[in-house]
Structure 1
Amino acid sequence: MMINLQKSSLIAATIICLSMPVNTSASNEQAAKPGGDATGRLNYRSFVEPAKNIPRMEQLDFWDGFSFFRDPWVASPSITRDRDGLGPLFNARSCKTCHADGGRGRPSKHGEIAEPALLFRFLQANASKGDSRYGGQLQPLAIRLSHEKLTKPVQGEAQVRVFYEEITGHFADGETYTLRKPRYEIENLAYGPLDKGTYLSARYAPAVYGMGLLDAIQEKDLLNLEDINDANKDGISGKYNQVIDAVSGKKRIGRFGFKGLHSTLEQQVAGAFVNDIGITNPIFKDETCLVHQVACKQAGSVDPEHVLDIPEKLHDLTVYMSQLIAPPPARDLQSSKSKQGQTLFYKLQCQQCHTPSFTTDTSYQVKALAGQTIWPYTDLALHDMGEGLADKGVENLASGSEWRTPPLWGIGLQHRVQGFSAFLHDGRARTIEEAVLWHGGEAQPHQQKFKSLTKQQRAALLYFLKQI
């Protein structure tokens, strides 16, 4: 049974699934290729696999782009002009640091300084702006550079120490569970105290595979799912953030980032370059140094011939590679255990936010990604996830408790490929089960239904999620 994008069809699909298997074997064969013809091969060592349907010569561009994703950047000026431009302030020296093997970076441990994959935004409770002394994102590291233009060394802004509080609960059958609630303490503020009303919001770098296919979904197909005022009375009121496209200057829906702050994959990549690595680029041409960060501004101007840290060609190669990192194939969808879990997925109405399937735009700029039937299990919309997951800031139209629905494809491979697993926007959940248990707000009824399942049913549902 193919899932239609219209809400009415989704509801009909849910009604059907209560009394019969959700999908036919033929449909599951299609869902086994979550990226359509652009699905990658199954690789238990890395998520970095190009789409299978790109020509051999274009694969060379993919791997060229991957080298700029993988290799560390160095401070400018240097003799490696294709690899310099790091900083002056930054979070990591490479994309791979935070997106290890194309997946997620190493999660942060209790009592330790946050790992690079866990970055922090500075938010205000009543406005979409950052801190006057530190901007919108904390950059804990700084380049070491000696130059006559520098009157003093560049200083990283601060560090954050991570703590977890354990919360226990129990399922309806009496089995207990333990969740982790994070707490953050900021240390060594280099430029003075934070503004009154500034809050930290943690963001754990997501997996990057399949991003190009999400970029290729037509805006109208996403907007067909928007139901801000819950007109159909299903308890779900998803909405899309409204953001300014940095290239066109027009307002568009945000589909990338945990709050939907970027409208295109190209902008997401460019934003990560400038905010995370300190690499200016054709989209974001200015350093992130604030006026009072004198050494940072001086360091950013020591090489006047380097107007842009990353030239157009390298930018394009990196974006192209990001578009074509393919989602991995699904695994065991045909077993009775998987089919039982699949039926429970719909019975609990998880598909109301985790929309199973789309067909990408037939005129998308990358031909290999155009017109593909994909199975990402996301609507890319903002949903109220409750106070348990809320931060205290506002980001455009996103309130503190609203988060973008993450895609679920490949979620069960994280531990197998990377040797660790962590889920949700801040990595607090160590397992998929913990991630489900953190669902609150408009997802609270679905979480309660999950808690009321038997142990065998919970295992079947989790097994299905690990296969998609």
Structure 2
Amino acid sequence: MRRPCPRPNRAFLCAVLVWGGAALGAETLADAHPPLSDPHLDAPARTASERARIKAVVTPTADFSAPEPFEARPAGAATVAPVPGPHVFDQPSAGIDGEARMTWHLGQALFDKLWVPSPSSTRGSDGLGPLYNARSCRACHLRDGRGHTPDADGAVSMFLRISVPADPGAGMPAIADWIATRPDPVYGGQLQDFAAVGHRAEYRLDVRYDEIAVALSGGDRAYLRKPAYTAADLGYGPLTPGAMLSPRVAPQMIGLGLLEAIPAAQITARADPRDADGDGISGRAAIVWSDQYDRPMLGRFGWKGGEPTLREQAAAAFSGDIGISTWLNPQPWGDCSAAQDDCRTARHGVDADGAELPRDALEAVLHYTRNLGVPARRAPGDPEVLRGKRVFHDTGCTACHTPKHVTARLSGQPAQSFQLIWPFTDLLLHDMGDGLADNRPEGRATGREWKTPPLWGIGLTGQVSGHTQYLHDGRARSLLEAVLWHGGEARTQRDTVVSMPPADRDALIRYLESL
């Protein structure tokens, strides 16, 4: 579990930089942060002429009569062909070849690898758990697509995060009770529903749904399912009083290296925490502490932007989801707490690096996830798609789902270097209202805020994943349902979709399906 303020002597500095705080004047610090650097990017500073060119190319279009230049290639030169079948996401970026492609396939094999508990005769594969959510990365990110809610057979690729209010006496100032949290003292930072032989799983995920009818213009009607989550069959006693639970479905994996390559300054420039422009949208940067670079950085990955880089995201997932240690998360017991002594004292698999996953293996997995190709658009010039694009822009969806970015000029990463990309995200935190609130803060994000997810490839969800479940917990069974769950800052856009002519609403969905 990531500790945003890893050392006591940095607790106050981190609290100010990452969270802001009422104790020092929330009006001043709620949107305050230092200039954010990109130590993970080997890139020169942009010149004035480059900045001007980029501003011109990412400016929203006013012409919807035809596709924009390069719109059909959402990942720039790294775009791949949209092949038939369910493996359309499981392709290497078009910009890599030779040795880089061989490394990609090695990372793919490690991503697919099934881990086993220690001790085992297969020393290269032992170290699982003892408590875990999955035995492989692929178990949750099936075919590199979205996870799903529990099915009829009980299979699931989601889990519950858990935290409790921070103890003011633990060395971190209680700047705001609703934002300062810590892992549960027994169950850690997330609940594991599987366990090795001789150990007890932490819980069983139980989900119940209530149906909500929504009247739409033209006499149409939609039905939303409102979930209620329960941590059932707890294996280590009751949850701590005040424990906060939040569901997480595994997100799709494509284009992550390109999102990592967008300069932080380009993202934070769009932040508007005080809604100075009066458009009702007030995005904030997720700022987290990087253990690798020992500084605050922009949070880019995770549903609330909890991780700054793909390397730290991968290491956190190996530790929390599978119980596999790396040099970044060296504890071999993963997310087991100090109260789970049997888990911590169990046999663990450790290699020459002092971790269960060697450095070179982690780097291969990183290379794989960084270079998963984004498929080309389908029929961007279709008249119905173009009509839907106009509706998307006129409705104001681009205020958060920013269509275009330009990545940094990178050394040694040709597939991500200086590409015009179309991910449809601003990578900022937004208040999405009571309907989507998990009421669990994470880092700088409140219990009502979520990071804008990218939309590229969203129309291929059914082809890849065999379902059409969207949002952070898979509650939406269609793209229209996902739109109708929008609230908070996006309430105006949601209400516009409800009241617009049915033909415009259909065109909007057709456009989203083309992405």
- Partner Cα separation in structure 2 for residue 185 and residue 199 of structure 1: 11
C-alpha separation between the residues in 1 aligned to 2:411 and 2:476? 35
Q: Which of the residues 173, 181, 190 maps onto 2:226?
A: 181
Structure 1 residue 268 and structure 2 residue 313: aligned?
A: yes
Provide closer, same or farther for how the CA distance between residues 259 and 155 of structure 1 changes in structure 2, counting only shifts above 3 A.
Answer: same
> Which whole-Å CA distance do the structure 1 matches of 2:302 and 2:54 have between them?
22
2:279 is the counterpart of 1:234: yes
2:203 corresponds to = 158
> Does 2:98 align with 1:56?
yes
| Match of residue 194, structure 2, among 135, 138, 141 | 141
SS in 2 for 1:31: coil
Q: Distance in 2 between matches of 1:419 and 1:197?
A: 37
The letter for the 2-side match of 1:232 is D
Deviations 1:70-96 (A, max 9, x none): 121111232322222211111000111
Q: Trace 1:37-436 onto structure 2 (pairs within 5 A).
A: 37-43=77-83, 44-46=85-87, 47-109=89-151, 115-124=155-164, 126=178, 127-144=180-197, 153-286=198-331, 287=333, 288-301=335-348, 307-363=354-410, 365-436=412-483
- The 8 Å contact of residues 91 and 116 in structure 1, kept in 2 or not, is answered as no
Q: Matched residues in 1 for 2:225 and 2:479: separation? A: 13
CA contact (8 A) 1:38 1:52 kept: yes
**How far apart, in 2, do the equivalents of 1:411 and 1:302 lie?**
38
Shift in alpha-carbon separation, 1:103–1:398, aligned structure 2, 3 A: same
1:15-26 to structure 2, matched below 5 A, reads 17=62, 21-22=63-64, 24-25=66-67
| Matched letter for residue 271 of structure 1 | A
**Cα deviation, residue 4, structure 1:** 9.0
Q: Distance in 2 between matches of 1:64 and 1:404?
A: 31
- Equivalent position SS for 1:173: helix
Matched, 1:444 2:485: no
Provide Cα deviations, 1:137-187, integer angstroms capped at 9, x if missing partner: 11121112xxxxxxxx22211111111111101112221110011111221
Structure 1 residues 403, 364: closer, same or farther in 2, change over 3 A? Answer: farther
2:509 corresponds in structure 1 to 462
Q: Which amino acid aligns with 1:184?
A: Y
How many corresponding residue pairs?
447
Q: Is the 8 A contact 2:133 2:193 kept in 1?
A: yes
Separation in structure 2 between the aligned mates of residue 85 and residue 284 of structure 1, nearest angstrom: 14
SS at structure 2 position matched to 1:282? coil
Q: Choose 127-136 or 436-445, whichever is displaced more.
A: 127-136
The residue matched to 1:163 in structure 2 has which SS? strand
Matched to 1:82, the amino acid is G
Secondary structure of the structure 1 residue equivalent to 2:415: helix
CA, structure 1 residues 218+386, in 2 after alignment: closer, same or farther (shift >3 Å)?
A: same
2:116·2:127 contact (CA, 8 Å) conserved in 1?
yes
The farther-off stretch of 310-319 and 413-422 is 413-422
Specify whether residues 311 and 304 from structure 1 end up closer, same or farther in structure 2 by C-alpha distance, changes over 3 A only.
closer
User: Alpha carbons of 1:32 and 1:442: their partners in 2 closer, same or farther (altered >3 Å)?
Assistant: same
Contact 1:124 1:392 (8 Å CA) reproduced: no
The unaligned stretches of length 5 or more in structure 1 are 145-152
Partner secondary structure for residue 127 of structure 2: strand
1:296-344 C-alpha deviation (Å, 9 max, x unpaired): 0111557697831100111110000000001111111101101000000
Deviation of the 1:9 alpha carbon: 10
Give the whole-Å Cα distance in 1 for the aligned partners of 2:433 and 2:159: 22
Structure 2, unaligned runs of 5 or more: 1-51, 166-177
The percent identity for this pair of structures is 37
- Cα drift, residue 128 of structure 1: 2.2
> Could you tell me how far apart the structure 1 residues matched to 2:232 and 2:98 are?
49
Cα distance in 2 for partners of 1:396, 1:23 equals 43
Q: Distance in 1 between matches of 2:451 and 2:64?
A: 25
| CA 45–304 in structure 1, closer or farther in 2 if over 3 Å, else same | closer
Alpha-carbon contact 2:148-2:249 (below 8 Å) kept: no
Q: TM-score, normalised by structure 2?
A: 0.83
Once residues 482 and 252 of structure 2 are traced to their aligned partners in structure 1, the CA distance between those partners, rounded to angstroms, is 16
* Counterparts of 2:387 and 2:211, CA distance in 1: 32
Cα distance in structure 2, aligned partners of 1:341 and 1:253: 32
Given the superposition, is the C-alpha separation of residues 158 and 466 from structure 1 closer, same or farther in structure 2, using an over 3 Å criterion?
same
Asked if the contact 1:341–1:462 (Cα under 8 Å) also holds between the matched residues in 2, the reply is yes
d(CA) in 2 for partners of 1:24 and 1:311? 50
Letter in 2 for 1:254: G
